Chains A and B, each alone.
Chain A
Amino acid sequence: MKCPRCESKFVNVMVKSPVGDVWEVYLCDTCKFTWRSTEGENITDPEQYDKRFKLNPEEFEKLGHIPPIPPLTKNK
């Protein structure tokens, strides 16, 4: 299985439905996208996931920090 959003192969089952065996939720270790097995193919299928919302993991480092990490104070 591949992540529908960034197409990483590092995906895992995060959780199974607490009641009955009716769905699973998957987590992408690379881009932290989560999706449920019962969602539509617009969400679950990497081919059909909207191109405007695809992510390229190589660009993550360039993303801004909210909020910024402050410098460590020395005397503490």
Chain B
Amino acid sequence: MAYRDLREFLELLETEKQLVRIKDEVMPEPDLSAIGRSAPNMDSAPAVFVENIKGYQNPVVLNVHGSWQNHALMLNMPKDTPVKDQFFRLKELWDKYPIKPVFVNKKDAPVKEVIIENDINLFDVLPLFRINEFDAGFYLSKALIVSRDPNRPDSYDEQNCGTYRIQVKGKDTVAIQPLPFHDAAIHLRNAEEKNERLPIAICLGNDPVLSFMASTPIAYVQSEYDFAGALKGAPIELTKAENSNLDIPARSEIILEGYIEPRVREIEGPFGEFPGSYSGARLQPIVKITKITHRKNPIFENLYLGMPWTEIDYLMALNTSIPLYDQIKRDFPEVEAVNAMYTHGIGAIVSTKSRFGGYGKAVAMRLLSTPHGMSYTKIVIIVDEFVDPFNLEQVMWALTTRVRPDKDVFRVPYAPGMPLDPSSEPAGMHTKLVIDATTPVAPDFGRECELLGTPIGVEKWSEILRDLRKEGGNK
């Protein structure tokens, strides 16, 4: 692998001209939010390393995952790799699961270089800031949070690493949002039934594949660390936490160790979320931070999220698409690729060869009965196998030349929906829309039409033109 941790990945981004540095002093508000919003709006968007923030000691890095170029570099591919090729590469790596981690001694783990146990003050280490105007406070939006099942404390496989939003509420106190269907909520329930504290570790500034896996919906008994190893083709380095039996990345920038107070809920939110709207205030658990360990000169990594597309949309794009592809491909081998990267899969595009007339509609119904598609996916578009579902120009071509609205469009009224979709009414129910944009095959029929081909020599000339541009246009 070309990098072992966040620092080495940032070096790689800088070499590839995918990282910019801001050296002038900036204000925590409104500058950091504005920088995080501006970066993903750029073509070939870079990560932004902010060195000097008024009142704080340490730097912050934003938009590490926020472009397809950075995403390709995470997968060790050339930065101009098309999204569809990244999808297939990811699928290939996915099938290498599991690659088990290696454990390093605490004394050799970079994240233990500095240990703080007295007078904990998160602001001494983290340059905290408000992400969106009406957020309730300062949030950690890109943390990897580790917990174990208190009923099975020795089970490595049931240990979970997930990303949950964290609101800072004191020098040593934060709030956490484990939604009932997420794995950490199972751990918390088992601890709260016994009125016990649940130890957790909040890991910040990680190897980019760890951030990627922490936001991927995998099965309860699968290990995010073993998947991250598969994506890297090499084991992740782990070490033990100071105050608990938790396994934490040895090369993180910063670890906040602590515990969730059992049977306590306190007001949290609102917070600007990925559909581009605020999610409201609720009563949620509290975490007491009892220890901070960090590397020397630690880098705080956080992300801006808001009106799509922002960094989080790149982070959740292919890790939502791959499991759906896996599940549909089992029964429909003609399926070529699945793009479920719009608003976390609320919109999905599938490319498939049609075995017989009406096949596209059957593929759509299969997608709408997968665990994720059943509730999340509201709009499904099916295109031919030669259409790249990640290329919206091609998808629009298919919609404009392959859809007869009188027979290719249908709705499923009042089906399971996704409550964070502000159009679901009542929240959690919606009507599905299916658009079959495939070419009719027998026994269905369409008007005769012949597709245009490509001129002979296109491949050769594409390469020549690309090389000429690399050399500066043959000046």
For residue A15, CB closer than 8 A to chain B, the reply is yes
Chain B: minimal CB distance from A40 (Å): 7
Closest chain B residue to A15 by CB distance?
B123
Interchain residue pairs with CB less than 8 A apart (5): A23-B55, A40-B30, A63-B282, A65-B283, A72-B193
Q: Complex formed: what's the CA distance from A27 to B268 in Å? A: 13
B178 in the interface (beta carbon within 8 A)? yes
Nearest CB of B to A7, in Å: 15
Q: Which residues of B contact A25 (CB under 8 A)?
A: 123
Is the pair B194, A33 in contact by a Cβ cutoff of 8 Å? no
A66 touches B180 (CB 8 A): yes
Contact residues of B between 177 and 220, Cβ < 8 Å to A: 177-180, 185, 188-189, 192-195
Report whether A14 and B171 are in contact in the complex, using a CB–CB cutoff of 8 Å: yes
Q: Would A66 and B283 count as touching, CB distance under 8 A?
A: yes
**Contact of B136 with A60 in the complex, beta carbons under 8 Å:** no
A-side contacts of B281, CB under 8 Å: 55, 63
Instruction: Judge whether B195 and A38 touch: CB under 8 Å.
Output: no
Contact B188 A22 (CB under 8 A): no
Is residue B240 contacting chain A, with contact meaning CB distance below 8 A?
no
Which interface class (under 10, 10 to 19, 20 to 34, 35 or more) fits B?
35 or more
Scan B156-184; emit 1 where CB is below 8 A from any A CB, else 0.
00000000000111110001011110000
Which residues of A from 7 to 41 have beta carbons under 8 Å from B? 14-15, 17-20, 22-23, 25, 27, 31-36, 38-40
Asked if A39 and B193 sit within 8 Å, CB to CB, the answer is no
Q: Is B28 an interface residue (CB 8 A)?
A: yes
Judge whether B130 and A39 touch: CB under 8 Å.
Answer: yes
A20–B57 alpha-carbon span in the complex (Å): 10
Contacts of A70 in B (CB 8 A): 189, 192-193
Q: In the docked arrangement, what's the CA distance between A22 and B127, Å?
A: 14
Residue in A15, A32, A68 whose CB lies within 8 Å of B180: A68
Asked whether, in the complex, the Cβ of A67 is within 8 Å of the Cβ of B30, the reply is no
Quick check: A32 and B134 within 8 Å, CB to CB?
Answer: no
Nearest Cβ on chain A to B192's Cβ, whole angstroms: 6
Contact A60 B123 (CB under 8 A): no
A73 and B169 alpha carbons, distance in the complex (Å): 30
CA distance A34 to B267 in the complex (A): 12
Are A32 and B267 in touch, CB under 8 angstroms? yes
A64 to B268, CA, bound (A): 11
Chain B contacts of A32 at CB under 8 A? 136-137, 167, 169, 175, 266-268
| A64/B266 contact (C-beta < 8 A), A17-B55, A22-B55, A34-B169 known | no
User: Interface on chain B toward A: helix, strand, loop, or mixed SS?
Assistant: loop
Q: Is the CB of A63 within 8 A of B283?
A: yes
The one of B138, B170, B185, B193 in contact with A76, judged by C-beta atoms closer than 8 angstroms, is B193
Which residues in B have their C-beta under 8 angstroms from that of A72?
Answer: 193-195
Cβ contacts under 8 Å, B168 to chain A: 34
Please, what's the 1-or-0 string for B46-82, where 1 marks a CB less than 8 Å from any CB in chain A? 0000000011110000000000000000000000000
> What residue of chain B has the Cβ atom nearest to residue A38's Cβ?
B27
Contact of B55 among A19, A35, A68, A69 (CB under 8 A): A19
| A-B CB proximity, top 5 nearest | A17-B55, A34-B137, A67-B180, A53-B134, A22-B55
The answer to whether residues A67 and B189 also contact, given A18-B123, A20-B55, A38-B29 and a CB cut-off of 8 A, is: yes
270-323 of chain B: CB within 8 A of chain A: 270, 278, 281-284
Bound-state Cα–Cα, A66 to B27, Å: 33
- Alpha-carbon distance between A53 and B30 when the two chains are bound, in angstroms: 19
Q: Which residues of B contact A68 (CB under 8 A)?
A: 180
In the complex, whether A50 has a CB less than 8 A from a CB of chain B is yes
Residue in A closest to B53 when the chains form the complex, CB atoms: A19
For B194, list chain A residues within 8 Å (CB). Answer: 72-73, 76
Q: Chain B residues near A69 (CB, 8 Å)?
A: 192, 263, 265
Is the C-beta of B370 less than 8 angstroms from some C-beta in chain A? no
Q: Which residues of A contact B169 (CB under 8 A)?
A: 27, 32, 34
CA distance A36 to B281 in the complex (A): 20
CB pair A60–B267 under 8 Å, yes or no, is: yes
Q: Which of A15, A35, A42, A53 contacts B270 (CB 8 A)?
A: A53
* Seed contacts A32-B169, A34-B136, A53-B270; 12 additional CB < 8 Å A-B pairs: A5-B136, A17-B56, A27-B170, A34-B138, A38-B54, A42-B133, A43-B29, A53-B278, A55-B267, A64-B282, A65-B284, A66-B284
B124 CB-CB contact with A under 8 Å:
yes
Closest-CB distance, A74 to chain B (whole angstroms): 10
Tell me which residues across on chain B come within 8 A of A23, comparing CB atoms: 28, 54-55
Chain B contacts for A39, CB-based, 8 A: 29-30, 130
Q: Which residues of B contact A73 (CB under 8 A)?
A: 193-194
Across the interface, do A14 and B170 meet the contact criterion of CB distance under 8 Å?
Answer: yes
Q: Is B193 a contact partner of A65 (Cβ separation < 8 A)?
A: no
Q: Which residues of A contact B284 (CB under 8 A)?
A: 65-66
The interface residues of chain B lying within 8 Å CB-to-CB of A33 are 136-137
